[in-house]
Structure 1
Amino acid sequence: MEKLISIVVPVYNKAKYLHQCLDSLINLDIDKEMIEVICVDDLSSDGSLEIMNNYSREHEFIKIIPLEENSGSPSYPRNIGFEKAKGKYLALLDADDWLDSKGFPKLLFQMEENGADIGFGQSYKHTNKGITKLATFTSYKNENQLVPYEIDKIFRAVGPPGKIFKRSVVIDNDIKFEHMLFGEDKLFFTELISKCRNASMTDESVYHVNRHAENVSLVRGTSILEKAVINLTLLRKIMKLDIPKSAKNSILSRIVEVDFIRRFFHTKTFLVSLEKDKYYKIFEEVIQTFSENGLNIEDYIEINRFKNIYHLFNTNKTNLEEYLEHLIIEGRKSFYIDNGVIHQRFPSKFSGLKDVTSECFAVYGGSHYLNNDFYEIIHIYKEPQVDINEVSMSKISDESTQQGIEYKIEDNKIYIRTNDLKFDGNPEINLRIKYDGFKSILVNSSLPNASEDYQQKRQNFKVEFKQRSEKSLRPADNYITVLPQYIVVVKDINTYLDEDFKNISPKRLKVGTRISIADTVKSQRGTPRLKTKEGYIISANKKLVKELTDDLVDGYVFEVPKEVRVIKKCKLYESVSFKTDPLKTLEPGETMKVNNIVYTRKLTPRLEVGENVYMTANLDYVEVIY
């Protein structure tokens, strides 16, 4: 039987996740005679090849290609898989991810029925914090005969998840993955989407991405500046692509707004950097690249806050940095309502800039007794052109459980019958508003404020509904209650064997220690606790522990390496805070063995390279030697 689809799986040291990945392929709701799975092993050393061989012996449709040398990236294995593939369609699956047993075949058959060159389906990201939809910036709807590169913001998601495409498009246009440290997906899928003429789309779940804390991405060790240099190279390559003008305009807008404003300037990493001149120099090269190609970069910036960042870059970089502080730092943010729309407030020096508004903002208004029945009311603050499409509820931190609720809307108020607010099993839930077809927001618990002197304590909290309890619960405002991937200890604390802290363990955690968290639990009185991966119970009090988020470690060494090499002059200190006199200056080229990574009270990572001896973990100053 002719193969309908070839699924290519590049594999390098993913033994821990391969069973889930390969089991998902076995469980696909499709005749296995119609598919082939091509696993390309990139000289794994952790037993991955043996696992794949075992599956291949039991399942004829699973084929293994072992490489003799490690290629250093997924690009070459993917290209080899494409060369060997016999299917009419192709799909890529990373070895730590998995396919949806029902949704993936549905999209494939939908494409076959409608003669589509490419298909797009909904993907979900799984982290320690929960399950969220990927690519919520564009519509995922059941539709066919779409022009793929004209789908709104389709180039904001240029990776393998949720995509199936014709092998003939790849072969006829000689589209291949380039060997790159970062960004090979962006270049490949930009060209592929631009060469396809007919697309199908579904809102069904198709692909599941594994982003749990223990599954560390290879690109985590790439600093923002390194990524920017690669993105600049990608920009120049994309400028030369022979693709439709509308496709090129869309991808260039993505590169400017996402890669060179949102992820470059609009970050805490930029604000705390001591090398802002390097950021400015790279962005000058971006502007010059547009100019050399007869383009004005301003034509590709659509969002007002990004337009303001670009304007201040050109006029006053000191004001730019202050403006970014008001955009990014929670304690500096300030909002107000004007004519039913939420606006962000900035100091008067920025009054000439464009307004930064929220398209749609929802606030819970409580339960009301109306017309002999109880209703939940949600107040909507939105721009006039915004249309409300749906109200739904889902388990907290699990968007895949989303289900719609009947509602009516009058005068920007949404009314939901209280008795309709039910979810099987009575889990804790959020409310979500869908607007303008595919955009969505969670319902907030309070309105924003614009005080210059006071910050509203609960301003960013979302409404959460949970089962009523007869127990007397302690307030959880000062506790971590949503499962974090990691926490850092900010005061020495004990560990315990039980949630009520009655049985203390011998292990004590020191300031600066990073801990992997497995679960959130509660004492009998309802006090939040954290359960570590080792099984100990520790405090969830924010005065004792703080959550370590991605934006805090971006640009820093994250996993403990054996050694680091100094690439820019830095110093050794005998305090984590670096407030003592330096012990020594390290010159470029020197190597240091690393014992551990510890953190300051502000959660800045440091490398412990001796007993009470510390150095920077900033990837602009050191490179990892594994």
Structure 2
Amino acid sequence: MFKVIKKNRLITYNSLGYHIVDNKLENRRKPSKVTVITPVYNSEKHLRKTIDSVINQSIGFENIEYILIDDCSTDSSRDILLDYSSKFDNIIVVFLKCNTGTPGKPRNIGIHLSTSKYITFLDADDWLEPTGIESLHNILEETGSDYVVGKTIQYRSAGTKIIGEHESCKERRAVSPFSIPHIFHHLGPRARMIRASVIKENQIQFPEMKFAEDKQFFIDVLTHCNTISTTKTPIYYLNRLDNQQTRLTNQTNIMQKTECNLKVINYIINKNLELEKEQMILNRLYEYDC
């Protein structure tokens, strides 16, 4: 155990290098319907808007388990998280002892701590459509699919645009992921919800890389899904207004990105997938990243 005092607050880190604020996990009641996982690092400017977008979900915040993992922020992010944690029993805040430099480890911790039937991800400077979680949850409940993805709208100073149009251009219900053209072209955590058992039973984790960690994770998820669904409904708002300098991918040079992409390519080759499935995945990685 490691003990650190910060701003008159004693923080005791476990052997895995993280601290759960107020030990809320020990007092949890019945599992919520959905767990939202947010990695946080120096996100003070947008963090309240992000958290409020989860609190104000139409599904009812009482049906949400919200886990936020702070990766050693040096701004006021931790104070903001403590404020929300003190007000809501279902907001679970985790502090890491050492900065990891990647959203992979914080997300993995969130997955490990989650108790809900479904998991979704939200980055700390983005926000959700008020009906977003309910829309995805209802589709999974109705179809029995393992995965559902909806529409992501990106905000830039020049205007808005749709991200990953192929995966939100039509309503699909309970189809093979490999039946959807270009399904592997956008593999970020946005606007999607996953059956938790798919992740946990197959021991799927984000690799701790500065780039392409989400590609490997969601390729793994999709290859383990029996069926998935898609919807045209807006779910997620991707903030690209004023955070270009702080985004981790923009702090990664071309050599680092290439190294990470090669790791993902080798990982896929070593999975020994059916040839047609492997080619579909690798074509995306070769065309877009090499």
TM-score (structure 1 length as normaliser): 0.40
Q: Match of 2:149, as an amino acid?
A: F
Determine if contact 1:43/1:69 at 8 Å carries over to the other structure. yes
Question: How far did 1:244 drift?
Answer: 4.3
Runs of 4+ in 1 over 6 A off after TM superposition: none
Which residue in the other structure is 1:117 paired with?
146
C-alpha offsets along residues 253-272 of structure 1, whole Å, 9 cap, x if unaligned? Answer: 10111112xxxxxxxxxxxx
Q: Does 1:257 align with 2:287?
A: yes
**168, 176, 184: which one pairs with 2:197?**
168
Determine if contact 1:107/1:121 at 8 Å carries over to the other structure. yes
List aligned pairs for 1:477-626, cutoff 5 A: none
**220, 229, 246: which one pairs with 2:259?**
229
Q: Does 1:101 align with 2:144?
A: no
CA distance in structure 2 between the partners assigned to 1:17 and 1:71 by the alignment: 21
Q: Match of 1:188, as an amino acid?
A: F
CA distance in structure 2 between the partners assigned to 1:2 and 1:139 by the alignment: 29
Determine if contact 1:191/1:241 at 8 Å carries over to the other structure. no
**219, 222, 235: which one pairs with 1:193?**
222
Question: How far did 1:138 drift?
Answer: 4.5
Which residue in the other structure is 1:210 paired with?
239
Which residue in the other structure is 1:61 paired with?
90
Q: How many residues align?
A: 260
CA distance in structure 1 between the partners assigned to 2:258 and 2:69 by the alignment: 30
Rg comparison, structure with higher value: 1
The structure with the largest helix share of the pair is 2
CA distance in structure 1 between the partners assigned to 2:168 and 2:238 by the alignment: 19
Which residue in the other structure is 2:16 paired with?
none
Determine if contact 2:149/2:168 at 8 Å carries over to the other structure. no
CA distance in structure 1 between the partners assigned to 2:68 and 2:76 by the alignment: 14
Secondary structure, aligned partner of 1:87: coil
CA distance in structure 2 between the partners assigned to 1:146 and 1:113 by the alignment: 13
Which residue in the other structure is 2:116 paired with?
87
Q: Does 1:247 align with 2:263?
A: no
CA distance in structure 1 between the partners assigned to 2:251 and 2:177 by the alignment: 33
Determine if contact 2:149/2:167 at 8 Å carries over to the other structure. no
Determine if contact 1:195/1:243 at 8 Å carries over to the other structure. no
Q: Match of 2:71, as an amino acid?
A: D
Which residue in the other structure is 1:348 paired with?
none
CA distance in structure 2 between the partners assigned to 1:147 and 1:110 by the alignment: 15
Secondary structure, aligned partner of 2:145: coil
Determine if contact 2:167/2:230 at 8 Å carries over to the other structure. no
**45, 48, 51: which one pairs with 1:19?**
48
Q: Match of 2:191, as an amino acid?
A: G
Which residue in the other structure is 1:594 paired with?
none
Higher relative contact order (CA 8 A, sep 6+): 2
Secondary structure, aligned partner of 1:155: coil
Question: How far did 1:34 drift?
Answer: 1.8
Secondary structure, aligned partner of 2:39: strand
Secondary structure, aligned partner of 2:46: helix
Q: Match of 1:99, as an amino acid?
A: L
- Give the fraction of aligned pairs with identical amino acids, expressed as a percent: 34
Q: Match of 1:252, as an amino acid?
A: L
